């Protein structure tokens, strides 16, 4: 998809405890009526929806959203007999919300801007080499194993670096705040450095702290 083809207004799917990155694909089970409506409308139009993290706030108020989310395209769609959908969403590019649009729909829509993340759609050869992230891989692997996560590392090594780093950032046992920081990181180099920073705090907690019983 080219930048000029990106929509200016998108349906917004605020999803707690979940972040999608560009160049990753995730399955989603859609069952709430407002989001079933959103998927119905999206399938009739451009198959695009925006995933974004809600902020923690008063449950009685309209949920505030983080400024940055990721636009995804529905690449697979299955309609179950009970009116719910199972979809696969492919992350395309990040966006920033400029303002929310008033509508008569069950779901929210926002006007968005993609300018800060225009490189997400630029498929030029990555400047990072795999050797640049070998140490991160080693530390991540250790952290994943400690947390009981199972990753197919051989499969990851066959992907391009952008796909690999984004997949690891999304699947990692990092906190949602840390994942949001990674999502907002301007480019691959910065995201790699942020992962290393976050890992250093985890390694400190895991190996240097002692608890007095």
The model's pLDDT over 92-141, given as tens digits with 9 standing for 90+, comes to 999 999 999 999 999 999 999 999 998 888 755 556 666 777 777 788 88
**CB 71 within 8 Å of CB 94:** yes
Does the domain formed by 3-120 have CATH 2.30.130.40? yes
Q: Is the pTM of this model over 0.85?
A: no
Strand 48-52 and strand 68-79: pairing?
A: antiparallel
* Residue 177 structure tokens: 């705040």
Residue 164: which residues within 8 A CB-CB, separation 6 or more?
133, 156, 157
Q: Which of 1.20.58, 3.40.50, 1.10.405, 3.30.70 would CATH assign to domain 130-207? A: 1.20.58
Tell me the domain boundaries of the chain. 3-120, 130-207
**Per-residue pLDDT tens digits for 16-62:** 878 899 988 999 999 999 999 999 999 999 999 999 998 875 555 56
Residues constituting the chain: 213
Strand 68-79 and strand 85-101: pairing?
A: antiparallel
* Other beta carbons within 10 Å of 180: 19
């Amino acid at each position: 998809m080219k930048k000029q083809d990106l929509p200016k207004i998108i349906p917004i799917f605020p999803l707690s405890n979940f972040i999608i990155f560009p160049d990753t694909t995730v399955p989603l089970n859609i069952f709430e009526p407002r989001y079933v409506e959103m998927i119905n409308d999206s399938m009739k139009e451009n198959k695009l929806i925006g995933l974004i993290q809600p902020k923690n706030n008063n449950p009685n108020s309209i949920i505030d959203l983080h400024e940055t989310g990721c636009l995804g395209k529905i690449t697979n769609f299955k309609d179950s007999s009970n009116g719910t959908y199972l979809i696969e969403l492919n992350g395309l590019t990040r966006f920033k919300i400029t303002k929310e649009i008033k509508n008569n729909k069950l779901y929210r829509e926002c006007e968005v801007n993609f300018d800060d993340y225009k490189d997400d759609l630029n498929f030029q050869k990555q400047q990072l080499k795999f050797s640049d992230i070998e140490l991160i891989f080693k530390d991540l692997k250790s952290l994943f194993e400690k947390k009981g996560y199972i990753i197919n590392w051989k499969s990851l090594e066959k992907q391009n670096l952008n796909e690999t780093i984004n997949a690891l950032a999304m699947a990692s046992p990092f906190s949602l705040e840390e994942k949001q920081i990674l999502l907002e990181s301007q480019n691959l180099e910065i995201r790699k450095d942020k992962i290393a920073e976050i890992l250093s705090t985890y390694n400190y907690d895991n190996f240097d702290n002692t608890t007095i019983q």
